[in-house]
Amino acid sequence: MSNPPLKKDESQIRCIYCGYYIKSPYPTNLRCPKCNKFVIPIASPLNEKHAPIDLDAERIDLKGKNEYVKLKGIYEYVKFYGITSHERTPLFASNKKWHYLLELTNNLDFIATSFLGGVLDKMLLKSENGETEKCQFFEKNNIIYILYGKFPDKKGKWILEILAKYFSDLVRGKDVNNLSRIDKYDIEKKFEDRIFKGYRLNSKEYRQLEKAFIDQEILYVEDRIRLYYVGLSSMSIGVISVLLDDEGKLNVKVPGEFEDLAEEIEMKEALLTAKIDAINANILGNTGAYPRWIAVKLGFQQYRFLTFRKCKKGYFLSCIAEGNLKKIEEIEDELEILLEHVIGVPFTGSLEEIRKIKKEIRKIIKEINKK
- Residues 22-71 pLDDT 10s: 776 666 555 678 877 655 443 333 322 322 222 233 333 333 333 333 33
d(CA 365, CA 353): 19
Are residues 271 and 192 both part of a single domain?
Answer: no
The DSSP-derived string for 2-62 is PPPS--TTS-EEE-TTT-PEEESSPPTT-B-TTT--B-PPPSSPPPGGG--SSHHHHT---
Are residues 364 and 236 both part of a single domain?
Answer: yes
Mean pLDDT confidence for 94-102: 89
d(CA 120, CA 296): 5
d(CA 103, CA 279): 11
Are residues 183 and 153 both part of a single domain?
Answer: yes
- CATH code assigned at 50: 3.30.450.70
- CATH code assigned at 312: 3.30.450
Are residues 292 and 190 both part of a single domain?
Answer: no
Are residues 134 and 245 both part of a single domain?
Answer: no
Are residues 118 and 147 both part of a single domain?
Answer: yes
- What digits encode the pLDDT tens for the residues 173-193? 999 999 999 999 999 999 888
d(CA 55, CA 216): 26
**CB neighbours of residue 223 within 10 Å:** 10
Are residues 85 and 148 both part of a single domain?
Answer: yes
Domain boundary residue, one of 216, 248, 267: 216
Question: By CB neighbour count within 10 A (0-12 exposed, 13-18 middle, 19+ buried), where does 297 fall?
Answer: middle
d(CA 36, CA 106): 30
Are residues 238 and 175 both part of a single domain?
Answer: no
Amino acid at site 87: E
Question: By CB neighbour count within 10 A (0-12 exposed, 13-18 middle, 19+ buried), where does 61 fall?
Answer: buried
CB 155, CB 135: distance < 8 Å: no
297 forms beta bridges with 119, 303
Are residues 188 and 90 both part of a single domain?
Answer: yes
Q: What is the pLDDT of residue 251?
A: 84
Q: What are phi and psi of 10, to 5 degrees?
A: 55, 30
Q: What is the pLDDT of residue 13?
A: 66
Range of the structural domain that residue 262 is part of: 225-370
Sign of CA dihedral 338, 341, 345, 349: negative
pLDDT band at 288; cut points 50, 70, 90 = confident
Domain boundary residue, one of 163, 194, 216: 216
Helices 153-171, 181-201: crossing angle, 10 deg rounding: 130
Q: What is the pLDDT of residue 97?
A: 85
Q: What is the pLDDT of residue 211?
A: 58
How far CA 133 is from CA of 66, 80, 142, in Å, comes to 11, 12, 26
Amino acid at site 58: E
296 CB-near residues (< 8 Å, 6+ apart) = 112, 116, 117, 118, 119, 120, 121, 303, 304, 305, 306
Mean pLDDT confidence for 78-102: 91
Q: What is the count of structural domains for the chain?
A: 2
